Amino acid sequence: GVVELAKSRHSGRTFSEKDEDLLAAMSSHIATYLHGADAPQTFRAVLNACSSNMLVKSSRVLLSQQQREERLFADVMHEVKRVMKAEAAMLMLMDDSTSEQTPVLYTKYCEGIDISETTPVGVGIMGHVAQTGKPFIADDVREAGELYDPE
């Protein structure tokens, strides 16, 4: 998956080097868990491990797997947005279920923005990040050149 954090260029604050280090550390922990020698190999396994420790506030009702995932996504993205002091956060997951087409990213959770989109891997900023596995950091997304699409 890909996590996007955004601040308004009018907020007067950019992400600091400390912010970037913190996000890199969080991403590294998730990646290590996903790809370690003794680790489960799927994002779903990470969700299961996290959600097994998650308590439902003021309720003992068992949630379905989908509800646990939705709750976990909401909690994680809310905390990432809060810790990074971002104005918006979006989680996109990759759908590579068909080998006949280019995999696509789809919006799984947004906070601070109302958007739902599908992006082919390799297209735009999010698609580039998914394809390369490398972070994209810019004080202004308009600096992204050909990766930036204002639409």
What is the pLDDT tens value at each position of the chain, 151 positions in all? 566 666 655 566 666 777 777 776 666 666 655 555 555 555 555 555 555 544 444 444 556 667 767 777 777 778 778 877 778 888 777 777 766 677 787 777 777 777 777 888 888 888 888 888 888 877 777 777 777 776 6
CA-to-CA dists, residue 95 to 23, 30, 36, angstroms? 23, 19, 22
Amino acid sitting at position 6: A
Place of tokens 């959770």: 109
Distance, in Å, from the CA atom of 69 to the CA atom of 131, rounded to the nearest integer, reads 24
Which residues, including other chains, have CB under 8 Å from residue 43's CB and lie 6 or more apart? 1, 34, 93
Q: Is-contact 95 111, C-beta < 8 A?
A: no
